Each structure stands twice: as structure tokens, then as C-alpha cells.
Amino acid sequence: MLLQRLVMKHYSWIKKRQIPQTQINFSALFGTQRVCDNKETGDTKENEEGEDFPYADVPKPAKKWERKPYPTPMKVLIQRAKEEKRARQENPCRLLEHAPENGLLVPELIEVAHQVYNARESLLHGLSKLVNGDAAIPVKRCRFCSEVHIGHFGHEIRSCEGPKCGSRNSIHVWRRGGLRDVVGFPYCYHLYDRVGKPRVGHKERFGVQRLPAVVELCIQAGLDLEGYPTKRRTKPVYSIDGRIVDFDPEEQAVAVEETLESVNQSRRASSMDSIFEEQMTVSELSARTLQSWLEMRSGAMKLLKKYSVVTCGYCPEVQVGPKGHKVRMCKASKHQHRDGLHGWQEATIYDLIRPNYVWHVRDLHGSPLVNELKRYYGKAPAIVELCVQAGAPVPKQYRSMMRLDVVPPNLDEHDLVA
């Protein structure tokens, strides 16, 4: 009896201490709603601040022995491959409906391809005037590494990683730079038929032309250039057990190519003549060159959403097309395990158009940048820095990267700054 009383008393005490289930549900409902409201208000505040004051910093350079990060997560790639395999098993013989996988062009991107090519030509024309013209902005390049600097005097920041950099205390040895040091366009192999024969073999490497990857992307998107023939289809291709089968006659494809080439050449010639005939000052030329750079990047990003471009995960090699080539020319990390073949993966705009980041100089005729104050200096792509030094306005997306709102202290005051 005594044990039974103790058990009943303990049970009643526990029941009093318990919170009713309705109160729990009520608090949980309004608590989660309050948290969600706080998150939504925080997100809206962040979006508003991001629109008003966009922040962007220079991406950290990847280590040479590490692979590049995948733009698309690996789980998404695996799920996509499983879905494609399941669709191929359900329907072994199917007509590819979506362009450009079926060999046809995307109609709304043909004009974008011409705009990207014209912007690139305008960019190179403006850079040639800014680098080698009468009022040229000096460009410096390190003798032992790929560091580039815009200014009359090279900086004194110790960041050289070239041969025997330890004996020089990582100090750069500057020499005169050129146009290729300001902006880099990686080369790739030209594909005559990007759907029927998307790969270039190792034995074919000397018989296939190479050209800038941006130009090859424009060609595959609808641009026709003399000297780079491309097969244009009028009917979509079939996929039979994963293999591409084309029933489009060759004569009709050649006729379509000739008509497109004549139209594109006349359109491109008229547009480029109107660009080159304009007489501009240095500031106007720099602003026009910077605008061409931004237009080329934005147009290339639109093309990348539809047309596939792959890059090696270990080296800077790029190939425009659904698949990478089989040329054994990779000399990056772990290339012995791959027999010199590239480790292809999805490319980004930074692989297609390389922005060579340089230190921002506030005064070209001032003292050179010192190593002790490097955390107060900003960076920008070399083409942006060159155009800004020539008189072009600073683009909004690069203001935070260039750290225009930071005032660097004097050399004798940097120890006093927290």
C-alpha cells in the first residue's frame, strides 16, 4: 500500500509539471511564424542592401594540386545522368527536340553571338590604342610569373611565385607588358560538326584549327567566319542508343551555310565600320572599351546557359562543345594517372574570359604600392584598371573590389591601425 501511494503521488506530480499539448502547439505555431517573419525581413533587408551596395571581392587563387570546384553540385550531375539513362532505356530511338542538343541553332541567341563578336573586336581595337597608342597607359609584367601591374612603376608587394623567388624575397622583376597581358582569351579546337563529331583525337591535333574560345562559341551559336566552316542543319538529329544519327542531306546544309555566311558578313562589316570610323578622345575611348568588355561578358554568359563549354579541372584548357577533346596535352597535377588526358568539367565565364586581376593604383604618378599596406589596397581586372586609369568611370560591380572607400594610412602609421 505504501509503495502504491508513492507511485500515485509521483505520477500526479509529473502530470502537474507537464505542459498541455494545446499550449505546446500554440507556442510552436507562433514561434515558428515569428522566426519565419524575422528571416523574411532579414532577407528583404539583405536584398535591399545588396541592390544598393553590391559587394564583391577577388576570388582566392586555387592551389595547383587541387581540382577546380564544380559549378553544378555532383549530386545534381549524378541525378541528371540517371534521368538521361532512364529516358534512353525507355525510348532507345528518339528525336532530340531541344536546341542546340539536336544540332539546330537557338534563334534568339544568333543576334547575341554577333553582339559578342563585335564587342570583342571593339575591345581589341580600343586596347590597342590604350596600350600602344600616343597616350598609352604603361603596362608592366613580371619576368618570372604572371603578375601584371598597370602604372609607371611596378609595385613592391612580395607575391612572386616564379623560379628562384626565395632568393629575391618574392619581389617581382618588372618588364614591359603588352595587349595579351591585359586580357586573356584561351584557345580551343574548331569543330566543323559539334553534334556529329564533337571530339578531336590525339592524332588529329595538328590538322584541326585553333581559335579563341569566345569566337568558337559565337560560331557555334550562329556566327559564320571566313576560314572556319561549320555545318548548319535544317532538321534535328536522332539519338539511337545514345549515338547521334543525322538524316539531313549534306547539300542542303552547305546551302544554308552559304546563305548565312553572306548575311552575317554584310551585317558584321557594316557594324564594325561604324565603330572604327568614330574619332574619340582618350577618356571616351576608354569608356567605350570598358563598355565593350561588359557587353562581351554579359553576352557570353547568355550563350553559356545554352551552349556547353568544358574546361580541364586541373589546367586552363578550354573546349567549346558538348565534350572535351582527347589530345594528351595536360601537364597539371596528376596528369600521369590520366595519361596526359584532361579532366573535363563544366566551364564558367572566368574560364572562357580570364580576368587577370591587378592591384588598383589611386595615383599613377605617385609612390609605388608597398608590401606593408597591401591589405588596404583593392584589386580589379586588368582591363577595368586600364580603362579607369585612362578616364573611364568605375563600374558599380567593381567599386567594392577596388576598395575605393578605404583610405590607406601612411607607411609610418600602419602599426597604429587596429
Within a 13 Å sphere around the CA of 402, how many CA atoms are in the beta-carbon half? 19
What pLDDT is recorded for position 134?
Answer: 77
Nearest-CA neighbor of 196 among 60, 59, 103, 129? 103
DSSP state of 378: -
> For 394-404, what is the mean pLDDT?
89
On whether the CB atoms of residues 402 and 379 are closer than 8 A, the answer is yes
What pLDDT is recorded for position 49?
Answer: 40
What pLDDT is recorded for position 214?
Answer: 95
DSSP SS3 for 101: coil
Q: What is the pLDDT of residues 98-134, one digit of tens each?
A: 889 888 999 999 999 999 999 999 999 999 999 987 7
What pLDDT is recorded for position 87?
Answer: 87
Q: Which residue carries 576560314 as its cell?
A: 227
Helix (H) or strand (E) holding 311: strand 309-312
What pLDDT is recorded for position 215?
Answer: 95
Q: How far apart are CA 96 and CA 87, in angstroms?
A: 12
Least trusted range by pLDDT, from 153-157, 190-194, 279-283, 328-332:
279-283
Residue type, 417: V
More confident: 44 or 253: 253
Q: How far apart are CA 89 and CA 239, in angstroms?
A: 12
What pLDDT is recorded for position 261?
Answer: 52
> For 363-389, what is the mean pLDDT?
91
Q: What is the pLDDT of residues 186-237, one digit of tens each?
A: 999 999 998 888 899 999 999 999 999 999 999 999 999 999 999 988 888 8
What pLDDT is recorded for position 203?
Answer: 93
On whether the CB atoms of residues 183 and 123 are closer than 8 A, the answer is yes
Q: How far apart are CA 340 and CA 327, in angstroms?
A: 8
What pLDDT is recorded for position 364?
Answer: 86
Cβ neighbours for 221, distance < 8 A, ≥ 6 positions apart: 100, 105, 106, 109, 110, 112, 113, 303, 306, 307
On whether the CB atoms of residues 233 and 248 are closer than 8 A, the answer is yes
Q: How far apart are CA 236 and CA 95, in angstroms?
A: 7
Q: How far apart are CA 176 and CA 193, in angstroms?
A: 41
Give me the count of residues in the chain.
418
- Distance in Å from the first CA to the final CA of the chain: 74
Q: How far apart are CA 251 and CA 257, in angstroms?
A: 10
Model confidence at 293: pLDDT above 90: yes
The pTM (predicted TM-score) of the whole model is 0.79
Beta strand ranges found along 132-190 (DSSP E): 139-142, 148-150, 174-176, 187-189
**Residues 221, 225, 229: CA angle, nearest 5 degrees:** 85
**Residues 393, 396, 397: CA angle, nearest 5 degrees:** 125
Model confidence at 252: pLDDT above 70: no
What pLDDT is recorded for position 218?
Answer: 95
Q: What is the pLDDT of residues 12-41, one digit of tens each?
A: 554 444 444 444 343 333 333 333 444 344
> For 394-408, what is the mean pLDDT?
88
**Residues 412, 413, 416: CA angle, nearest 5 degrees:** 135
More confident: 93 or 318: 318
Q: How far is CA 304 from the centre of its chain?
A: 9
